[in-house]
Amino acid sequence: MSAPRQWPDWAPRQSVRSPRRFLRRALAIALVGVLALLGLGLGGAWWATNHYGDQVTRIPDAFPTGPRPPKPEGYDGGTTFLLAGVDSRSKKPTTGTDAAAQLWTYGAQRSDTLMLVHLSADEGSASTVSIPRDSWVPIPGHGSAKINAAFSWGGPSLLVQTVEQLTGTRVDHFGIIDWHGFRALTDSVGGVAVTVHEDSYDPEQHRHLTAGTHVMNGEDALAYVRQRHGLPGGELDRIKHQQQFLRSLVGEVRGGGKLTDPRGTDRMLDAITRTVSMDDRMSNGDLRNLALGLRNLAASDASFSTAPIVRSEMIKGQYALILDRQKLRETWRAAETGHPPGTGK
């Protein structure tokens, strides 16, 4: 078996102007796509995870060094993932085997979409909490800032450390994808049917979205999941769009016959390996075990929520969201133990 492809060494720290806004995306779907698409049956899963797993780009040193949070008392033995999408100045892909530019260069990329996903030990349920990019949080060694600055300043390891400090949990695996990958992944399944609930206009993208159900290609889907202007809830409505798209994508993969079409399956798996990067602690065996266990996970078994917000305010001239950190920790502890907050368990 060939060794997993390693990501090139990160570039040295350098001074770079703050990036202008690029396309935004709900990129956490990459891992869910991997888990759903690899559920091809016992023999198929063994072959697929070895064949395609070898092609997944691994990220070295994705985790912080030094002490890390312990798993909570009553931990259910499941797996916690941190999934991120990057907002990069690069016009070239930065994740997956298609990458032609660095995943991380100091100051040049910020995480855009952040999701914590916990899969129960029996793979019978999945809990996802979205953390808004504008959340104002402590970043180790840098004071407080928006959470998306953590990736900009320290790459994957500082982002993981920041989220672990915020939530009190320990992240087991890290996955990341950029907007090039999001479009390719969407197109690889032949588009995704999404129901838009009301007409809106996004003045930043200069796009109209009309109410109704639309089969969105990669470009259309990207516009949908990045929209926050022209929506009553702004950033929070954008997160709702991302979570809605994730549900629709999983439904498309599982219910649209994609898994029974060898050529279609090959295209999807190829798109995933071309677009997704994961930590180098995620072995092919880990992927295989998850795939086999999650073959019967349905959309109804997955829950989605957003980190609890106390208020919004302007800090140092920036729009920021203040989180209820205690409630966030209680919510995530419930996800990792299977006990709702306040049960005393």
pLDDT digits 0-9 by tens, 72-110: 888 888 899 998 877 655 566 666 666 655 666 666 566
> Token pair for residue 340?
């709702």
* Sites in the chain below the pLDDT cut of 70: 1-52, 87-112, 250-269, 288-300, 340-345
pLDDT, residue 96, reads: 62
Residue whose C-alpha is closest to residue 289's, from 32, 1, 29, 42: 42
Query: What per-residue confidence (pLDDT) applies to 246?
Result: 76
On whether the CB atoms of residues 167 and 68 are closer than 8 A, the answer is: no
Beta carbons of 60 and 277 less than 8 angstroms apart: no
Q: What per-residue confidence (pLDDT) applies to 285?
A: 76
Q: What b/e readout covers 327-339, taking b as 16+ CB neighbours within 10 angstroms?
A: ebbebbbbbbbbe
Angle between helix axes 325-337 and 149-167 (nearest 10 degrees) is: 70
Q: Are 75 and 121 in contact (CB under 8 A)?
A: no
For helices 262-275 and 179-188, give the axis angle rounded to 10 degrees. Answer: 180
Q: How far apart are CA 322 and CA 160, in angstroms?
A: 19
Sign of the Cα pseudo-torsion (268, 271, 277, 283, in order): positive
pLDDT value at position 218? 86
Q: 143-146 and 136-139: which strand pairing?
A: antiparallel
Secondary structure tally for the chain: helices H, strands E: 9, 15
pLDDT score, position 163? 96
Measure the CA–CA gap between 37 and 45, rounded to whole angstroms: 9
Both tokens of residue 243? 């979570």
- pLDDT for 62: 92
Q: Report the percentage of the chain scoring pLDDT > 70.
A: 65
Per-residue pLDDT, 18: 35
What value does the CA radius of gyration of the chain take, rounded to a whole number of Å?
19
CA nearest 320: which of 105, 138, 158, 92? Answer: 138
Tell me, what's the pLDDT at 268?
66
Phi and psi angles of residue 326, each rounded to the nearest 5 degrees, phi first: -65, -45
